[in-house]
Structure 1
Amino acid sequence: MLVCLAGLAAGVGLWSGYLPVPPQYNPFAPIDLTAPPNLLARFKLYRLKHDRALCLQALARTDAEFRPLEDQPGGQCPLVNIVRLSRAGAGFSRSFTASCPLAAAWEIFRHNTLQQAARAHFGQPVARVDHVGTYACRNVYNRPHARRSEHARANAIDVTGFVLADGTLISVQRDWNSKGQPAKAAFLRDIHQGACRAFNVVLGPDHNAAHANHFHFDMGSYWTCR
């Protein structure tokens, strides 16, 4: 009983701000999407799913170029808590609609994995990310009786490649197992592993044939890194 009361008191103290805890270690403090993710990052990202204002506030503290979109509650695949993301440090092959938590996770990924890996392997940043979309009103693998894909909620993105500042293209399909371009293969491996710290689900070419040409990142309800 005393342990429960102590835990409750600590929680109230953290939430109210009476306990002086650094923001990165306070589960109730707003998430800093540019900071390295710690054990509380997933909880803080989960809070953004149900708090549109908090999510937009977190994105606004970065240099991402985005605009909030109105919810689209009708139809077979309703969209809620969504934004249009046009640029996040690097550009994109095209802008896209994303759930706000997916956009937030992308910010963690690009600040703490994407650009760091590019500079480590090539001495220059990524200038553009190539992708094949986020939103598609469909089931997983388009199977008639499967559950809805996270793409049906704009809660997933499929990334096919990266273009460096000097114009060099790194392709997931071509370079994942490249023997002639080991730096590109190593970069993609680092991207895959680093993405697992930001997104709930990360699938790559080693997962199955359907992902041979892209990375799948999503903010679904379970965690896996394959």
Structure 2
Amino acid sequence: MTELVHATHDRGITTLTLDSPGNRNALSAALVGDLADALTRCGEDDDVRAVVLTHTGTTFCAGADLRDPPHPDALVGLLRRIVELRTPVVARVTGHVRAGGLGLLGACDIAAASTGATFAFTEVRIGVAPAVISLPLLPRTDPRALARYYLTGERFGAAEAVRTGLLTASGTDVDEVLAPVLAGLRRASPQGLAETKRLLTATVLETFDRDAADLTALSARLFASPQAREGMTAFLERRDPVWVV
């Protein structure tokens, strides 16, 4: 089987690279499983001080794979694993992010992108809602901005993503942006990182505990609906769905 997530390690930092170019790193059942397993291994390795999550190609993550979508429970589990991991997780984005891919950014502790990256919550355009990914996003991002971008599916850039709290920082060279971040993480004690992350993620985990079951059920119901079938078919056929006026 093709390896969809590659792991490399350098001076306390493990980099996990999404490598599924055939579907623009979309969240297929296989990719979600591979990434969850890779994160579990990182959590069990005392040599891992932090994790960098990045990608090949021009797209960080295109959202759910409509041909092979993960079960909502699996996506909840992946997002929670990022949030609960004892080491910080840093997103490194040099391409575009759509829909479910934004949930990965929301779950990460720090997220940086190049200035050419673009973002969009496209769920409403195919008849569903950003349900499960709201678990890490709602506690961490500007609610008025989320209302706009959730409801319209508009594309926005890295500067706006920073303003809304979706990103920590952006710059022409994302590696220059992240250099002081990674240097700081390498100087921090493992215990200090773990306990500080626990403080920072407490509210997010409360949201998972309270809302995960309801949002998982909502996601499953919407994806099985007639409007979602029309929306996904239209997307795959590269046409407007019937409701576009």
As a proportion of its length, which structure holds more helix? 2
Question: Please, what TM-score do these two structures have when normalized by structure 2?
Answer: 0.25
Between structure 1 and structure 2, the one with the greater Rg is: 1
Question: Please, what TM-score do these two structures have when normalized by structure 1?
Answer: 0.26
